[in-house]
Amino acid sequence: MSLYVCDSYEKLPAILKKEGVSGTRAMVVGDTNTLSLYGEDVANVLASVFTSVHRYAFPAGEEHKNLTSIEELYRALLVASFDRHDVIFALGGGVVGDMAGFAAATYMRGIRYVQLPTTLLAQVDSSIGGKTGVDFEGYKNMVGAFHMPAFIYTVPGTLATLDRVQFSSGMGEVIKSALLGSEDFFEWLLGNIYEIDEREPEVIMEMVRRTASIKERIVKEDPTEKGIRAVLNLGHTLGHAIEKFLEFRLPHGHCVALGCVAAAKISEGRGLLSTEELFEIRDVLVAFDLPILVDGLDKEAVVALTKADKKMQGGQIRFVLLKKIGKAFVAKDVTDAELFDALKFICAEDILVEG
């Protein structure tokens, strides 16, 4: 799996040739937002490589990330006479990448696809690693497959169109990556808060490269999550439970940020992190418009939701904690009492009562 960070889509034909990806037909799959913004540019570039270039748009939004939407894409592929030698291009954020990747994994038992991530969340996290899937019966990514893209082609310039909420959601995954994999990168983020907030192109390019390289390194070592790759779930066990409890009203990266604070609190309670480090993590999240407190959680319901998480193993939660900033590990002995204490630490109502 190769990852390219470029300043435009113009180099895509050269990368396709370098990676040995060709075919008669290409399908650019996006949502109604990304296809209107970038679909024509990408299709025009691909026209120099493929005999025919098709476009397909899902309705935008997590609520459309389901098997019914996948069936519609299958029909579009059939109508366009796609076979195993043709290529899907996933143009969009995490939802598009997951859905297009899942369709590629399952159509004719698997065809090639290329990730063209357009959001920060997708560029630094969801496009990397070959996880594909859809939500099912309210459970996030419950149905899916591992299917590696032929390569990932990222254009950070697309981030200029993101609103502040979407951008900060992506920063949740950026900071998570630094916390689990690189203390130096965590310090670099601290030193570039203003430049990142202003989305200075060179700084954003560097941030995307460094974040993506952390995940790429771990995925190459453990492509199907049998071991070390599990540390990439830092902030996700409680984060996913919070996301589901709030019925996806809070962006994914915001829920991950809350999950990271909770994980840091458990780590501090075990004497792994100092209290100073715990509050430094909170301060960095605040600096990038990420929440460290949340209203309206039913702690018992959230803990119950963690029991249905895909990361359960033998009836026990695999929970990612921090040995220190930049070094994560998987714990299989996190107790419900620790989960309740961590949730209390991020529940605004509890903080107000104590205050």
Active site residues: 109, 131, 173, 215, 225, 229, 233, 236, 240, 252
Beta-carbon contacts of residue 22 (< 8 Å; ≥ 6 apart) = 16, 49, 50, 87
Task: Confirm if 105 and 147 have CB atoms less than 8 A apart.
Answer: yes
| 94, HSE (Cβ side, Cα atoms, 13 Å) | 22
Cα-to-chain-centroid distance, residue 302: 21
Task: Give the Å distances, CA to CA, from 142 to 130, 137, 145.
Answer: 15, 9, 10
Please state the separation of Cα 239 from the chain's center in Å: 12
Tokens read off for 47 = 């026209």
CA–CA distances in Å: residue 285 to residues 159, 161, 178, 331: 19, 22, 12, 24
- Give the C-alpha distances (Å, rounded to integers) separating 127 from 151, 193, 199, 228, 247: 10, 24, 21, 19, 23
Q: Give the pair of three-digit tokens for residue 62.
A: 């997590």
Give the bridge partners for 135, in sequence order.
Answer: none
CA 334/CA 355 separation, integer angstroms: 27
- Rounded to the nearest 10 degrees, what angle do helices 164-181 and 183-191 cross at? 140
CB count within 10 Å of CB 102 equals: 25
CB-based burial label for 230 (10 Å; 0-12, 13-18, 19+): buried
